[in-house]
Structure 1
Amino acid sequence: MEQTNEAAAARQVEITARGGQADIEIDGTRIDPSTVKAYSVSHLAGEQPDVLLHVTDRGDTQWSGMARVAVADVPDPGPAAAIFLEAIDPEGLERAVLARPDIGSEPYSLTQTMLTQLGEWARGL
């Protein structure tokens, strides 16, 4: 059976946690505890487990090795916002805003209250 690139890149990681302290070894090599400020472990059935080390910037410690890196694009909120706003009943919005106790009398307070109401509706409040 052939190894996949992912399986070939897998490392043996051992974490021994006691209270607020943890000893971490990668392929039998102990990692200096001052170089890791946090870690997390996740594993989905049928996939390789992932260990995420959050490293500190202390000292001259050099990190080397292979890693899987994922870069996420922040979704454009425009299309979702447009769909949300198209579904708003103008009469219902006006009624809801004028009935709010926090509507002010300062300039732009009606607009501010409408934006507050729309934000609450968007969050499901």
Structure 2
Amino acid sequence: MPEVDPKALVIRFRPMEPESLIKRAALDARRSEGGHHAVSVWCGVQEEGETESELRDRILDITVQNGLGAANNNRYWVCTTALELMERGFKFVKDGYDGEPEAHFSVILGDPPTLEDAKRFVEPFERMER
């Protein structure tokens, strides 16, 4: 199963408020096979000659191709590298559903996560707009 590259740029859509993240992770845990309290992220690594802005656009294009309409997701949050989250103790996993995009991962917040876990997750992200 593919692993996230530690150098990957990480994009997350809402919710990003710690309390809402915990609620979303609990809801997704009930739906998932593994039962992990995790949140969805989109990741990518810069290709040769690609700027960070071009990388963000490429990842955002992938999200649109996978059903996340740009009009409903005009705000997003960016973490410069997956390593920043890994160093905070978070694990990236693939959900393993049919057709899961290579760029899609889930990040386990905790089982179950605490408010401190959610705050630690949110901290390295910067809000952006399309």
Point out which structure has higher relative CO (alpha carbons under 8 A, 6+ apart): 2
- Normalising by structure 1, what TM-score? 0.22
The structure that has the greater radius of gyration is: 1
- For normalisation by structure 2, the TM-score amounts to 0.22
